[in-house]
Structure 1
Amino acid sequence: MNQPKNHILVIFGASGDLTYRKLVPAVFDLYNQNLLPDKFAILGLGRTDLSDVDFRAKMKAGIQQFALNKPDDENKLNNYLEKLHYFSFDTKDPDEYCLLKGKLRELDEACGTDNNFIYYMATPPNMYEIIPEQLAKQALSDESAGFKRLIVEKPFGYDLETAQKLNKELLKYFNEEQIYRIDHYLGKETVQNLLVTRFSNGIFEPLWNRNYIHHVEITGAENIGVGNRGGYYEGSGALRDMIQNHLLLLVGLVAMEPPTLIDSTNIRNEIAKVFHSLRPIKEEEVAKYAIRGQYTASHIKGEAVKGYREEQGVAADSRTETFAAIKLFIDNWRWAGVPFYIRSGKMLPTRVTEIVIHFKSTPHHLFANDASICNNYNQLVIRIQPDEGVLLKFGMKVPGAGFKVQNVNMDFHYSDLSDTYLPSAYERLLLDCMLGDSTLYHRGDAVEAAWKFVDPILKAWKNDKNIPVHGYPAGTWGPEVSDELIEENDITWRYPCKNLANDGNYCEL
């Protein structure tokens, strides 16, 4: 594997939870595998007044708790911690960026990092326009000597208008090639393996079209509520929080055409084409193609569970959706007429993200009196999390007289690869940025195209009070009315278990 060039990783908002739980432990995992350059440093920036010693002590606790490779060599851990530095800094104060420039120059000369900087904005979104502007004013985005890269966390905008505005502002100060819009879903091995499953197997790609696929189903379920994030979630909801970014990304990977090459430009071109091919849902059509719900009080395993409107920070008359389901179409040659059903929700029976390819039934039902049985014979289930793997469902004869058919499973689990190390999403994505590879990062036009698709739904839900917010008891699979999106009476959503191959058996609630 190529070694990244010498550089400094500059983390804005370094006193926050993301740095403690994800970023610094992920970089330690890279260090533990000798994947970092010889000359490397992390500079944490935050308003909290910390010394280098204090910052290192805090990050040491984070590494010991959250790193995948638990440090067993104290000397190696201490050597890594020596690369961590902290600078007390007010992100909102333009005058302090001159001091930051001086600190970076000093650290760059001391560490020999060749004036290469990666800026990670682990800050609230209201800082996403301020930081790039002030960096540019100090010539800290100039690549005439050394590379300068900017990592932007989600949410990237609140709607189409704000996403377009943010893109426009960022491009004033950084080139598109310098901007890395991160989505940790793209860092998951199982998401990347979707490309390999499709394009390296002659048994799948010839069938991957409207001639053989009946419909595609994508689920992103959580079995927890909003907890103490009620105030944040009130301004977000399931459509913004999960569907606009994570699940539409999975739609793009399922539906994209084979790229000419496996590289950043070609893969992101094909994903963008899918987003531009999404059939628009007009505001007046939203009730037909989109359903929203909100979890209500219930009992799970004998314990009382709050409803969403009873959570801290949530309005008593809130209409924010904790469940959303959408039926969409992709208007191109490959997918014309094939419905994609996507859903996401909180307080569902289990935590699971998966893609289900439902193949068409055989044209002549030789072995079934009930044609609906055949609709469930052939499914390809690609499990993103948990129990990561791939499951193929097909029909086999039951032993004995006659030709009774039942579903059987053929499955592969990533856990079977016991000798294979699975990097965390942030570990993979940070390394890619260090290498200058933006393949697994969002491009600006694709982000805007995704917002363009969901924007009419958001507007209809905001403006049309006649569109209901359906209640569903916590611990169930969302509003029953979501089944009505699937127009064929004998087909419903798949109800997965946390274990990939255990569907149809007892599932823990």
Structure 2
Amino acid sequence: MSFDLVFFGGTGDLTWRKLMPALLQAFRHGKLPGGGRILAVAREERSDDDYRDFIRQRFDEVDPAKRPSDAEFAEFGRMLHYMQMDLSQPGDYAKLKRWLDEPRAEEGRSAPADTVVLYLATSPHLFTVICEQLGAVGLNGERVRVVLEKPLGHDLRSAREINAVVRSVFREAQAFRIDHYLGKPSVQNLSALRFGNALFEPLWRRESIANIQITIAESLGVGTRGDFYDRTGALRDMVQNHALQLLTMIAMEPPPTADAFAIRDEKLKVLKSLKPFTPQSVQRDVVRGQYRAGSVDGKPVHGYLEEEKVPAGSQCETFVALRTEVQNWRWAGVPFYLRTGKRLSGRDAHIVVNFRPVPHPIFGGTGQPNKLVIKLQPEDGLELHLMAAKGGVGSGSEALSPVSLDLDFDKAFPHQRVGAYERLLLDAIAGRLNLFVRSDEQEQAWAWVEPILQSWAQDGSGPRPYAAGSWGPPAASALVARDGFMWDEEQ
């Protein structure tokens, strides 16, 4: 299958920092279909060779494991092309269409590509104009797919406006709304864990589970992206998409098939079942914070208000913790705690499923309830925490000690792992929608967070301060302690 992959925003950070390294890995692994071309479009004037040199130099700034050798890049680089485009000019879209439609004998092509993937790695405010212009020149036929990078909109209204334009140009099956957390191997294994094994699904309900915690922590600050981040904040940047998508994967009912539409139907049901927020419950169940100066990895770091391009006196939140419930028979009464933030104690993303204690303990000591930890970063894996007898002379049969069964996916499946963006790019080329977000899912997620945004807009108190290098404001611990629980690192 031949393909053309077009990156709008071809010189931007996302393209060279994430997408190009992911494509190189797919190329290394022999997974890119043959006859492929990669076209970057941007405003600057460059030749194909200039762009190849630009990408080659940018590879020096990514993870060393993802850097190509000179020979490797020479082969990969032959796939790379560049086109200067002004995204506001209709004539430039006509030029793009001619480039995609013309056979190129020198590249061994006698016909246009079987598949065209148009990846919008631009600011979301350009999505509507790009889609409208693509439709105007006919770049929306059956062989065309469009990938929309997050954040898709700034609120429910803007998300609906973008989706309305996308739907006016492309069919839903052509629109790939990307959330790179869904491409992580551990997230993909959530479905396998639950629906491919007989062990967990009978326990995956309110009778056995005490609470579920989802943490997406970053030790980095906003860096040089202060102006962008200040317009976004942690709730829009991480909760509305990544954290809620993880919640749906944990809480969804078993789909009838592994078909993309069946899976996304079940995820939508979870989003519709989330307990809605009121102004009163936002005050009680949502904590927002903003980092101050502190220490990360033993080094002093600035507070958010001292970061580059951050407006003076900004009330943008860099941390969010919240409590919610899924109001259905499976999960009634089980609290779900979501937490995300910048400049926290470490770079750590995980899901913790805390099981209820045994109903009648017969061993001495308090023991610890079982828990399942699904690790997302910095490594992918599963840990099942159990209680076992210590054994040994004089220990007594009643002595229990916590032990864990640890599955490291990199060790379990050596040489078979693929990164999140690599997996999602390959899925977009192949037309697999399972790990992408449908428009109704995305709009329902915005509808759920909207009362929080509205409440904050009317609350002049602003975010709570927390020291960089901590786990956020003390109120986040109090939020969980109110139910008699603790965050995982506090246990």
> Kindly tell me: are residues 490 and 277 of structure 1, through their superposed partners in 2, closer, same or farther at Cα, counting changes over 3 Å?
closer
Name which of 464, 471, 474 aligns with 1:480: 474
Number of aligned residue pairs: 484
User: 1:384 maps to what in 2?
Assistant: 376
SS in 2 for 1:279: coil
- Tell me, yes or no, if the aligned pair for 2:464 and 2:473 is still in contact at 8 Å: yes
Name which of 447, 450, 455 aligns with 1:455: 450
1-structure distance, mates of 2:412, 2:199: 23
* Deviation sequence 1:33-71 (CA, Å, 0-9, x none): 332333221121111111011112222334575585654
User: 1:405 maps to what in 2?
Assistant: 400
User: 1:494 maps to what in 2?
Assistant: 488
> Kindly tell me: are residues 125 and 317 of structure 1, through their superposed partners in 2, closer, same or farther at Cα, counting changes over 3 Å?
same
Shift of 1:404: 3.6
Name which of 438, 446, 449 aligns with 1:443: 438
* Deviation sequence 1:82-139 (CA, Å, 0-9, x none): 2221111111222322222222223567633346311111111111001110011011
Taking only aligned residues, the RMSD between alpha carbons, in angstroms, comes to: 2.1
2:348 is aligned with what amino acid? V
User: 2:145 maps to what in 1?
Assistant: 149
1:472 is aligned with what amino acid? Y
Shift of 1:471: 1.2
User: 2:257 maps to what in 1?
Assistant: 261
1-structure distance, mates of 2:377, 2:298: 27
User: 2:86 maps to what in 1?
Assistant: 90
- Tell me, yes or no, if the aligned pair for 2:115 and 2:429 is still in contact at 8 Å: no
* Deviation sequence 1:17-43 (CA, Å, 0-9, x none): 222222223223223333233322112
* Deviation sequence 1:339-358 (CA, Å, 0-9, x none): 10010011111111000001
Q: 2:5 aligned with 1:9, yes or no? A: yes
Shift of 1:447: 0.3
2-structure distance, mates of 1:107, 1:67: 37
SS in 2 for 1:343: strand
User: 2:136 maps to what in 1?
Assistant: 137
- Tell me, yes or no, if the aligned pair for 1:28 and 1:63 is still in contact at 8 Å: no
2-structure distance, mates of 1:73, 1:61: 11
Correspondences of 1:40-59 after superposition (within 5 Å): 40-59=36-55
Q: Percent identity?
A: 40
- Tell me, yes or no, if the aligned pair for 1:118 and 1:150 is still in contact at 8 Å: yes
Shift of 1:490: 4.5
SS in 1 for 2:238: helix
Name which of 311, 326, 329 aligns with 1:330: 326
- Tell me, yes or no, if the aligned pair for 2:296 and 2:345 is still in contact at 8 Å: no
Instruction: Give 5+ residue unaligned stretches, structure 2.
Output: none
User: 2:119 maps to what in 1?
Assistant: 120
Instruction: Give 5+ residue unaligned stretches, structure 1.
Output: 497-503, 505-509
Q: 2:415 aligned with 1:420, yes or no? A: yes
Greater mean alpha carbon deviation, residues 225-234 or residues 63-72: 63-72
* Deviation sequence 1:314-361 (CA, Å, 0-9, x none): 233221111101100111111111110010011111111000001011
| Dislocated runs of 4+, deviation >6 Å | none
TM-score normalised to the size of structure 2? 0.93
Q: 2:385 aligned with 1:393, yes or no? A: yes
2-structure distance, mates of 1:308, 1:256: 36
> Kindly tell me: are residues 68 and 439 of structure 1, through their superposed partners in 2, closer, same or farther at Cα, counting changes over 3 Å?
farther
- Tell me, yes or no, if the aligned pair for 1:291 and 1:326 is still in contact at 8 Å: yes
> Kindly tell me: are residues 397 and 179 of structure 1, through their superposed partners in 2, closer, same or farther at Cα, counting changes over 3 Å?
same
> Kindly tell me: are residues 114 and 298 of structure 1, through their superposed partners in 2, closer, same or farther at Cα, counting changes over 3 Å?
closer
Correspondences of 1:61-76 after superposition (within 5 Å): 61-62=57-58, 65=62, 71-72=68-69, 74=71
2-structure distance, mates of 1:304, 1:73: 38
TM-score normalised to the size of structure 1? 0.90
2-structure distance, mates of 1:489, 1:186: 30
* Deviation sequence 1:401-429 (CA, Å, 0-9, x none): 47343322221112323633311211111
User: 1:500 maps to what in 2?
Assistant: none
1-structure distance, mates of 2:416, 2:58: 21
Name which of 161, 164, 176 aligns with 2:160: 164
User: 2:24 maps to what in 1?
Assistant: 28
SS in 1 for 2:272: helix
- Tell me, yes or no, if the aligned pair for 2:289 and 2:466 is still in contact at 8 Å: yes
SS in 2 for 1:157: coil
Name which of 176, 181, 202 aligns with 1:180: 176
- Tell me, yes or no, if the aligned pair for 2:358 and 2:369 is still in contact at 8 Å: no
2:308 is aligned with what amino acid? Q
SS in 2 for 1:258: coil
2-structure distance, mates of 1:313, 1:408: 47
SS in 1 for 2:21: helix
* Deviation sequence 1:241-280 (CA, Å, 0-9, x none): 1111111111000001111111211111111111111111
